[in-house]
Structures are given as C-alpha cells and as structure tokens.
Amino acid sequence: GLDFVNLSVQTGRRYKEKHDKIVNIKGAWEESRKGVENAWKHGLKINIQTVISHTNFQIYKDVIDEFAPYANMFIFYRLVPIVIPNPSFFKIKVISDRDSKKMYKKIFLYAKKKGVRTYFFGRMPLCWWNENDPIEKEIHKQVVAHCHILNGTNLTIDVNGKILPCANWAILHSSNLIKNDRIVSKEEFLRIFNFGLPAKIRRKLRYVPDKRCLNCKLFGRRCTGGCPLIEFEIGPYAPASEN
C-alpha cells in the first residue's frame, strides 16, 4: 500500500504567491497545503521537497514553520536548470555553489532547532563539507552527492510516458513506457533501461571530474564528484577558506 508521499512546496504561507508563480497555477499553494493535511490525517509519512533557488532564508524558514507539524522530513534540492541542447546551457546562472552551501547550513541549523529532519541533494562533491567542523561533519552524513543518471538508480517519467534520464532532462527522453498504445512489460523496460539508449547516456556522461576523486572511498558510492550538468565554481577538496 501507500506508505508516504513527497510533496513539492516552494514557500510558506507568507510567500504563497511565489509558489503559485513558480508552478504557474493560481491557488496551487493552498491545494498543496490541503494535500499535506489530508495525507497526514490518513496516517501517511510526508516529505516536503523544496528547491534552493535564491538567497532569501526567510522563505525556507517559513516552509519549515508551516509544515513542521506534518512533515517526516524536509528535502532540499540545489537548483539545476532544465537541460537545453545547445552550448548556451552551461552559461545559465543559478544560485552559486557557495551560496547553496551557506543557505543549506542555515536551513540545517534552523531545522535542527525546530526538531525536524532535513536532507540536501546538493549536486556538489561531498568533500565540500569540512569534516573537521562539527556542524559540517553532521551535514556530511545526510547530503546526497551522487548522480542518479550515472548510478542508474533513478529515473523520471513524464505524463506522456517518456523516460527521462533525470528531471532536469525534460526535453531529452531516452525511451518510452508506452509502445503501440500499451505499457511495455517489465522485461522489455529492463532490457531498454539496462542495454538501450538510457545505458548509452549513462556511459557517455560517466566522467571523473578530478583525478583525486579516484582515491576517495566515497567516489562511485555516495558521491560522483558532483552533477555532470553543472560547471562548479570550486572543484573537489576546496580549501576551508572557500567553504
């Protein structure tokens, strides 16, 4: 049966118009809030998912304040833009690596004070977090730094049944769950996913961002050296002054 739900909420009540604007649906925040309450009433575990896309800490604080009574966990994602198949993609500017890290550190400390759990999909190397710092050592244990594409551990399916390498490859599907007006069998799907175009994409994207990654015990397990769709401002083993 259904055990838990993940709900995407980008703001608290104070900035709910921003949430509606992000998803381009008026009243979406109120509907999401009702969904959270209904799931909670039915005894489901609830994970609230929010994207770190700006430096206004108050917005993330409000999300935690609003949904702390209901949430099992708050999951924060570092923003990565949707893939555009041309060279200009890597010129797109989003919240910087440094700002993402600073923001999550604030979020982590605030959530800890409130007694709620958080998780961070930072899309940056784990070695960015200084294990000699007590707070960052604690954060290090609950940060996700591996690439779902490279590991083949995750995928995204859009409303038309198209299989995307990840949610950021919204216009580059690798296969389709629907063939001749029917859903493909489990065996056919696994054959395509493990040996077809999805597997080819994983091989093409597999890279070593820094040769020092090869000597890291976490490389290939908890970390892939960062998201291959981002040009990082700071590479692996960033000095403490850069953190």
Long-range CB pairs of 126-129 (<8 Å, 24+ gap) are 126/218, 126/222, 126/223, 127/216, 127/223, 127/236, 127/237, 127/238, 128/97, 128/101, 128/234, 128/236, 128/238, 128/243, 129/101, 129/243
Question: Looking at residue 240, what is its pLDDT?
Answer: 38
Rounded Cα distance between 24 and 214, Å, is 43
Is the distance from CB of 142 to CB of 118 less than 8 angstroms?
Answer: yes
Residue 44 has what pLDDT?
94
pLDDT tens track, the chain, 243 positions: 788 899 999 999 999 999 999 888 999 999 999 999 999 999 999 999 999 888 889 999 999 999 999 999 999 988 766 655 555 544 555 677 778 889 999 999 999 999 999 999 877 788 888 888 999 999 988 887 777 676 666 777 877 888 877 766 666 677 788 888 888 898 988 888 888 877 887 777 666 566 777 788 888 778 877 776 665 544 443 333 343
Q: What pLDDT is attached to residue 7?
A: 92
Residue 48 has phi, psi (to 5 degrees) of -95, 125
Ordered structural domains, the chain, with CATH: 4-147+207-242 (3.30.750.200), 156-203 (no CATH)
How much is the pTM? 0.76
The predicted pLDDT at position 151 comes to: 66
